[in-house]
Amino acid sequence: MNVIEHPVVNTESGSVQGTIEDGVAAFRGIPYAASPVGERRFAAPERHAKWPGLRDAAHPGPSVPQSPSRLEAVMGSRTPDWNEDGSLTLNVWTPRLPADGSASHALPVLVWFHGGGFTSGSGGWDWYDGRNLAAAGEIIVVTANYRVGPLGYLYLPELGIENLGVQDQVAALAWVRRNIAVFGGDLGNVTVGGQSAGAFSALYLAVSPVTGPYINRVITQSGPFGLAPQNPEEATDHAQGFLDILGLGGGQDPRAALRAVPADRLLVAYQQLSQNLSRPGNVAPPMYPVLGASGIPATWQQALADGRLDGKQLLTGTTRNEMTSFFAFDPRIQAVTADQARSTVAGQIDAGAERFDRTATRLSNATPSDVLTELETEVVFRDGTLAIADHHADAGNTTYVYQFDYAPANDPAHLGAAHCVELPFFFNTFDAYPDSAMLGEATAAVRSLGDTFSRAAAAFAATGRPAAQWHPYESANPATIRHFA
């Protein structure tokens, strides 16, 4: 890349001026859709209007409206930075801009979606800064915001309000298709990835009849694939409960009233709904992508059976102790009895009580809380991840599977390798986690592991192969799972 302190790129909506950071060009806070305010609140995303002159792209846009993450005790706290106005933005990092605007020597593109339980998160946070990942594999990294909570997943289909967060993700991908070439990106070499809720999203985007044809590879990190898309009947009930809390449940068309409610009041009502529905062991948010609504025409099981993931290369994995992030600080889980834990699992899966007993036998001398945490890690995260990998590999598709086993040396909460722990390693952004219980001290050895994991992920996005020493996954063969510790 030519050394230009403030590089400029001409997008469809106007020119943006970024920065150069460690040899990588960063363009942050680029609108991919109009602000979801006024008449655009609770409406499908629309293209952003053109702007005059040069737009400063040195800083990310605000987060979408949200309450604090329920995993703050694990990941670290964040200062609220949300603003509904200007929130539908994305960020682009590229190690090489085209010298003359041409598409020669175009770079592979990774579009990555954050997690947060469809309730919190932002692609603009420094946790997900794409600079080091882009440099690790000579790829372009794109992160994006999408609406979460009630603003993203309130389900009132008769009013056209359904899976708006999914529609935002589709709109971000469409923006990438229309614009990434001017950043040096190759439209024929696109990977979609994400972690947790973002992994759930990435898989469904990859198997979607609308977006799937333009996706070559998929990265899913800790996808909660044991969580089915929300049932429309449940989504309808939760929407009604939300309206009732707001005093808008009288049967009238609530759109105008919803658009007049301040965003912070919507968030308070959503928190109340969450508390009303909270049950020990249930990690599903009140509102998340609904089956049969926009972007989710079928379950992933049906989509795989229909061959919709075939031909795409897959990198997928989990952490060893996913559910500690959700259970370690929940006093209801810590006090659970064996009978209560067995009953919880029995209500989730077939033969759940028997599986609980087998797990308890395998984990000799473990507390009921520990057994439940291990079993829920399997049920919510690992079982589905391996089922997808098994199906994909059996069909002759290139598949790589990892398990992230790193745990901090000082671990008073006994988190182990918790949900989200691989994120600072994936992006190589250790300094963005100064108070993170899941990470602990970022020693030289920890940073070396980050280099290894980040390079492997970037290489997969670039070539479909993460590393020479990482062999493809063989169905039902645990020896072909790559462990990182």
> Has 234 been annotated as catalytic?
no
Q: Look at the alpha carbons of 447, 450, 455, 456 in this order and tell me if their dihedral is positive or negative.
A: positive
Spatial strand order in the sheet of 481-484:
19-21, 24-31, 89-94, 140-144, 107-113, 185-195, 217-221, 313-319, 399-404, 481-484
Q: Any catalytic annotation for residue 15?
A: no
pTM of the model: 0.97
CA 421 from centre of chain: 14
Per domain, the residue ranges of the chain are 8-231+285-336+379-484
Q: Which fold has domain 8-231+285-336+379-484?
A: Rossmann fold (3.40.50)
Orientation angle between helical segments 352-362 and 338-346, nearest 10 degrees? 130
CB 439 within 8 A of CB 433: yes
Bridge partners of 82, per DSSP, are 63
pLDDT at res. 399: 98
Residues 145-181 as b/e (b if ≥16 CB within 10 A, e otherwise) read bbbbbbbbbbbbbeeebbbbbbbbbbbbbbbbbebbb
Residue type, 308: R
Residues 106 and 433: their CA atoms lie apart, in Å, by 33
- What's the confidence (pLDDT) of residue 4? 66
- pLDDT value of residue 379: 96
pLDDT, position 102:
53
Which one of 35, 162, 222, 322 is the catalytic residue?
Answer: 322
Are residues 291 and 229 in contact, defined by beta-carbon separation less than 8 angstroms?
A: yes
Contact 401, 473 (CB under 8 A): yes
Among the listed residues 48, 238, 391, 419, the single catalytic one is 419
Instruction: Please report the pLDDT score of residue 103 as a whole number.
Output: 52
pLDDT value at position 100? 55
Averages of pLDDT over each 10 residues, the chain, 485 residues: 76 98 97 98 98 97 97 96 98 89 79 98 98 97 98 97 98 98 97 98 98 98 98 98 92 88 98 96 96 98 98 98 97 95 92 94 94 97 98 98 97 97 98 96 98 98 92 97 97
The residue type of 183 is F
Catalytic residue status for 419: yes
For 388-416, letters b (16+ CB in 10 Å) and e give bbbbbbeeebbbbbbbbebbbeebeeebb
Listed residue (30, 191, 28, 177) closest to 108, CA to CA:
191
- From 69, 120, 196, 325, the catalytic residue: 196
pLDDT of residue 454: 98
Radius of gyration (Cα) for the chain, nearest Å? Answer: 22
Query: Encoding tokens for residue 117?
Result: 């339980």
